[in-house]
Amino acid sequence: MNVNTSTNVYSYVQDTSGNASKKTSSQPATGSSTTTAQSNSSAQSTISGLGLMMTRLYGNTNALPVVQTQLTTETQDMDAVNFLTLDDRNVLSDLYAQAKDQGTDLLYVDDLARDLGKYRKFGSVSGNYNTGNTYDVSGRKQTIDFTAKDSETASRILNSGNLSSSVLDPGFLKFELNSGYSFDHVANFDYLESVVNNSASKTTSNGLGRTPDFTTYVSQGQNNYVVNTASEVTFKTDEPDVVSKDGVFYVTETGKKHGFRLEGNNVLQDEGLSISDIQSQTVTTLLDYYLNANESENVSTDKPTTLFDYLFSSNIDKKIQE
């Protein structure tokens, strides 16, 4: 039998700037002091939590990646966990350590970390689905709600009075618990509630007696929200001149008023131009717009040159105006 007598210990350590890395050290001598044993146990738990966080969120890495702070064309394809702040990573390390000690399935912490990362990455550019500007194809207004169970839990958390004293960012909690922003969340709200309440300083806050069992992971799945569609059509668009169904063109009543007519399988206008002729004389796609714009010698250099730039700059302009 081969016995490993090495006294080296591999641990994750964090410097004053927040950077974490692996460190090799000698095994400390066993002491008889109860205080020393408790101190070593606490330190080992902290190290274990940081190691779990690094491994589960960033893979087999020797150091934490640099914190990304802006959504750009260079960072848009990065994993959302790269946008977690140093404080986020420290909190998650503690939650991983706590979950391990309490027998909580670590997937619950993984899901919370993913939602927090998405908030850091997209939160500043996300729109609320429930602002009243979303409609179905028929022009009926749509809104989104959580499931009844999630709505009840979200309401309890928001009204508990524990948001400001929680280890989690209150801004994230308000975002996460708003169905207009995070209807597609993956974090378990019962687990989120336990984190908020257990880290609160107010021992008399609502919900502090709840101790759900998180030893077995239960996925949220894809059915964690409900789409509400109004019965009345409130958004009306002008009827087009021509519609196509299964590849066959039809002239609408509006089109007839505008001089369109159907001859055989071809749609003509009074001027004698077919629908294909009309399409060939106009810019029909966003790609055509950008291709034509780039060919022009008078294109201003401060205009967006890609679809991402266009959408991103439009959102910034909107926020500036607000």
The two three-digit tokens of residue 268, written as one number? 């003509």
Within-domain flag for 164 = yes
Contacts of 159 (CB under 8 A, 6+ apart): 206
Q: How many whole angstroms separate alpha carbon 115 and alpha carbon 59?
A: 18
Q: 249 vs 45, 246, 281, CA distance in Å?
A: 69, 9, 19
The two three-digit tokens of residue 301, written as one number? 């250099």
Same domain assignment for residues 33 and 98: yes
| Domain region containing 13 | 1-103+119-126
Same domain assignment for residues 251 and 201: no
Same domain assignment for residues 16 and 98: yes
Within-domain flag for 289 = yes
Contact 165, 247 (CB under 8 A): no
Helix, strand or coil, per DSSP, at residue 187: coil
Same domain assignment for residues 228 and 274: no
| Sign of the C-alpha dihedral computed for residues 90, 91, 95 and 96 taken in this order | negative
Same domain assignment for residues 231 and 148: yes
Beta bridge partners of 10: 24
Same domain assignment for residues 150 and 179: yes
Same domain assignment for residues 78 and 27: yes
Q: How many whole angstroms separate alpha carbon 95 and alpha carbon 257?
A: 67
Q: Dihedral (C-alpha) 130, 135, 136, 138: value to the nearest 10 degrees?
A: 150
Q: Which of 93, 111, 126 is the last residue of a domain?
A: 126
Which pairs from 230-233 meet CB under 8 Å and 24+ separation?
A: 230/140, 230/141, 230/142, 231/140, 232/140, 233/138, 233/139, 233/140
φ, ψ (nearest 5 deg) of residue 247:
85, 0
Same domain assignment for residues 183 and 213: yes
Within-domain flag for 113 = no
Same domain assignment for residues 223 and 139: yes
Beta bridge partners of 315: none
Q: How many whole angstroms separate alpha carbon 150 and alpha carbon 217?
A: 17
Within-domain flag for 201 = yes
Q: Which of 204, 237, 270 is the last residue of a domain?
A: 237
Same domain assignment for residues 274 and 295: yes
Within-domain flag for 111 = no
Tokens 């974490």 correspond to what residue?
20
Helix, strand or coil, per DSSP, at residue 75: coil
Within-domain flag for 109 = no
Would you write out the chain's pLDDT as a tens digit for each of its 322 residues? 444 444 444 445 555 455 665 554 444 444 444 444 444 555 555 568 999 999 999 997 788 999 999 999 999 999 999 999 999 999 999 999 999 999 999 999 999 999 999 999 999 999 999 998 899 888 899 999 999 999 999 999 999 999 999 999 999 999 999 999 999 999 999 999 999 998 764 443 444 444 578 999 998 777 789 999 999 988 887 778 888 888 788 888 888 888 888 887 788 887 655 555 555 555 455 556 556 655 554 544 454 555 555 555 555 555 445 5
